[in-house]
Structure 1
Amino acid sequence: MVKLRLKRHGRKQRVTYRIVAINAQSRREGEAIKEVGSYNPRKEQTQLDLPAINALLKEGAQPTGTVRDISKRVEVLEQVEINFQSKIKF
Structure 2
Amino acid sequence: MVKIRLKKMGRKKLPIYKIVVAEGMSKRDGKAVDILGTYNPKSKELQIDIEKAKEWIAKGAQPTERVAALLKQAIQ
TM-score > 0.5, shorter chain as reference: yes
Indicate whether 1:74 and 2:74 are aligned.
yes
Indicate whether 1:37 and 2:33 are aligned.
no
Aligned residue for 2:22? 22
TM-aligned CA deviation for residue 37 of structure 1: 0.8
User: Which ranges of structure 1 fall in alignment gaps of 5 or more residues?
Assistant: 77-90
Structure possessing the higher radius of gyration over alpha carbons: 1
Q: Which runs of 4+ in 1 moved over 6 A?
A: none
What is the RMSD of the two structures over their aligned residues, measured on CA atoms? 1.1
User: Which ranges of structure 2 fall in alignment gaps of 5 or more residues?
Assistant: none
Aligned residue for 1:10? 10
- Using the alignment, how far apart are the partners of 1:72 and 1:30 within structure 2? 25
Identity over aligned residues, as a percent?
Answer: 38
Aligned residue for 2:57? 57
- Letter of the 1:67 counterpart: V
SS in 1 for 2:69: helix
User: What's the TM-score once normalised by structure 2's chain length?
Assistant: 0.95
User: What's the TM-score once normalised by structure 1's chain length?
Assistant: 0.81
Alignment size in residue pairs: 76
TM-aligned CA deviation for residue 72 of structure 1: 1.1
User: 2:48, 2:74 within 8 Å by CA — same for their partners in 1?
Assistant: no
Greater length-normalized contact order (CA 8 Å, ≥ 6 residues apart): 2
Higher strand content, 1 or 2? 2
